[in-house]
C-alpha cells in the first residue's frame, strides 16, 4: 500500500474508533458514572460556593495563557481560595481541603465528551484490581465526579469536574530515577499490572514514587482507547524503566503469556518510533 493510501485509510478509520466511545446512550452513561458522584460533605459545599462564581469558572475554563498566568493565579486565589498547581493540566487545590485536588476538564460545550470524567471510572477499575490481587505497593488515587452548580446532570466534561485523592508524591528527578532503577521483581509486578490494565500513558508525569520511597502511584487514569495493546504498553514501559531490566522480564514465558513480541523487536520499534 502506498504511504498516501495508508494515511487515507487511517484517517477514515480513526474517527470511527474514537467516536465509538462517545456514542454511549444516556442509560449507559448513567450506569458508568452515577455511582461515583461526590456526596454532600464539607468540601462539596465549599466547592459549590467557589464554582458558583463566574469569575472563577471563567479563569479556569478558558485556556490559560502563560503570559497572564500570574493574574489568573491571583484571580483564583482571591475569589476562590484556589491554588493553581499546573496551569496546562488545570489542577487546583484548596488549603482547607489539602487532601484533595481538583482536576478541571477542558471541554465546556461538547456534550459527547467525557475524557476528563473517564478518570473516575478508570480509577475504580484500577483500584479494584489492586484489591483483588492483594497488591499493596502500587496505589491509584480515589476519584469522584464533582457536579458543577447550575449545570444539568448529563454526564459530560462540561458538567462535572474530577475531585481526586491527593497523594504524597515524590516530585522531580528522584522519582524518575527510582523508577528507572526499579529492581527486577518490582518492575515485573508493575509491567504485569499495566498490561492487565491496558495502561498506555506511561511516563514519569503519570507514575511516581510516593514520599515513602516504597509505594508506586499511578495518578493519571484518563481512559485511552487508541492503544490497548500489550506491545505498546511494554514499549512505553521501556521509556520509564531501564530497558535492560525490561529485557530480563521479557523472557519466553512472559512474552507468550502476554502475547508480546520479543524484547529485541520491541526495542527496535521503540527506537524507530513505531
Ligand atoms: N492524586 C494525585 N496526587 C498528587 N498529584 C497529582 C494527583 N493527580 C494528579 N497529580 C498531579 O497533577 C498532574 C496532572 O494530573 P494528571 O492526572 O496526570 O492529568 P493530565 O491528564 O492532564 O496529565 C500530574 O502529573 C501530577 O503531578
Ligand atoms: Mg498526566
Half-sphere exposure of 148 (CA within 13 A, CB side): 26
Whole-structure pTM value:
0.91
CA distances from 204 to 116, 224, 262 (A): 20, 17, 24
Tell me the torsion sign for CA atoms 252, 255, 189, 249: positive
Residue-level pLDDT at 18 = 45
Q: For ligand 2, a single-atom ion, which residues have Cβ within 5 Å?
A: 206, 220
Residue-level pLDDT at 22 = 59
Judged by phi (left if over 0) then psi (alpha if -120 to 50, else beta), residue 213 lies in left
Q: CA torsion, points 142, 230, 239, 17, in degrees to nearest 10? A: -80
All residues at 6 or more sequence positions from 68 whose CB lies less than 8 Å from its CB, including other chains: none
Tell me the torsion sign for CA atoms 118, 123, 124, 129: positive
All residues at 6 or more sequence positions from 239 whose CB lies less than 8 Å from its CB, including other chains: 202, 203, 270
Order of all β-strands in the sheet with 138-139:
138-139, 216-218, 207-209
**Is the CB of 141 inside a 6 Å radius of any atom of ligand 1?**
yes
Q: What are phi and psi of 102, to 5 degrees?
A: -115, 125
- 274 residues of the chain, pLDDT tens digit each: 455 554 444 444 444 444 456 578 889 999 999 999 999 999 999 999 999 999 999 999 888 889 999 999 999 999 999 999 988 899 999 999 999 999 998 777 888 899 999 999 999 999 999 999 999 999 999 999 999 999 999 999 999 999 999 999 998 899 999 999 999 999 999 999 999 999 989 999 999 999 999 999 999 999 987 667 999 999 999 999 999 999 999 999 999 999 999 999 999 999 998 7
**Is the CB of 243 inside a 6 Å radius of any atom of ligand 1?**
no
Kindly give the number of the ligand 1 atom that is closest to the alpha carbon of 220: 17
Distance 19 CA to ligand 2 centre (A): 22
Residue-level pLDDT at 171 = 84
Kindly give the number of the ligand 1 atom that is closest to the alpha carbon of 171: 27
All residues at 6 or more sequence positions from 197 whose CB lies less than 8 Å from its CB, including other chains: 125, 126, 129
d(CA 211, CA 169): 6
Distance 216 CA to ligand 1 centre (A): 14
B/e letters for 226-259, b = 16+ CB within 10 Å, e = fewer, are eeeebbbbbbbbbebbebebbeebbeeebbeebe
Amino acid at each position: 500500500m502506498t504511504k498516501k493510501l495508508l494515511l487515507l485509510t487511517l484517517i477514515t478509520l480513526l474517527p470511527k474508533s474514537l467516536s465509538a466511545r462517545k456514542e454511549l446512550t444516556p442509560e449507559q452513561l448513567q450506569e458508568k458514572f452515577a455511582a461515583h458522584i461526590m456526596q454532600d460533605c464539607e468540601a462539596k459545599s465549599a466547592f459549590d460556593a467557589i464554582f458558583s462564581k463566574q469569575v472563577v469558572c471563567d479563569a479556569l475554563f478558558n485556556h490559560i495563557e502563560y503570559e497572564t498566568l500570574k493574574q489568573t493565579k491571583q484571580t483564583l486565589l482571591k475569589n476562590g481560595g484556589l491554588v493553581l498547581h499546573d496551569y496546562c493540566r488545570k489542577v487546583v487545590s484548596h488549603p482547607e481541603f489539602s487532601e484533595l485536588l481538583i482536576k478541571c476538564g477542558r471541554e465546556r460545550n461538547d456534550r459527547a465528551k467525557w475524557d476528563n470524567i473517564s478518570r473516575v471510572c478508570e480509577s475504580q477499575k484500577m483500584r479494584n484490581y489492586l484489591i483483588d490481587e492483594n497488591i499493596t505497593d502500587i496505589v491509584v488515587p480515589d476519584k469522584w465526579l464533582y457536579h458543577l452548580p447550575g449545570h444539568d446532570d448529563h454526564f459530560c466534561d462540561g458538567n462535572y469536574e474530577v475531585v481526586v485523592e491527593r497523594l504524597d508524591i515524590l516530585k522531580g528527578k528522584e522519582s524518575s530515577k527510582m523508577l528507572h532503577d526499579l529492581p527486577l521483581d518490582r518492575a515485573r509486578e508493575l509491567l504485569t499490572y499495566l498490561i492487565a490494565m491496558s495502561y498506555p500513558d506511561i511516563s514519569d508525569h503519570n507514575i511516581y514514587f510516593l514520599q515513602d520511597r516504597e509505594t508506586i502511584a499511578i495518578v493519571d487514569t484518563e481512559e485511552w482507547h487508541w492503544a490497548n495493546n500489550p506491545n505498546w504498553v511494554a514499549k512505553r514501559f521501556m521509556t520509564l524503566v531501564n530497558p535492560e531490566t525490561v529485557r530480563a522480564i521479557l523472557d519466553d514465558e512472559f512474552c507468550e503469556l502476554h502475547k508480546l513480541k520479543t524484547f529485541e523487536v520491541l526495542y527496535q520499534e521503540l527506537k524507530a518510533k513505531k
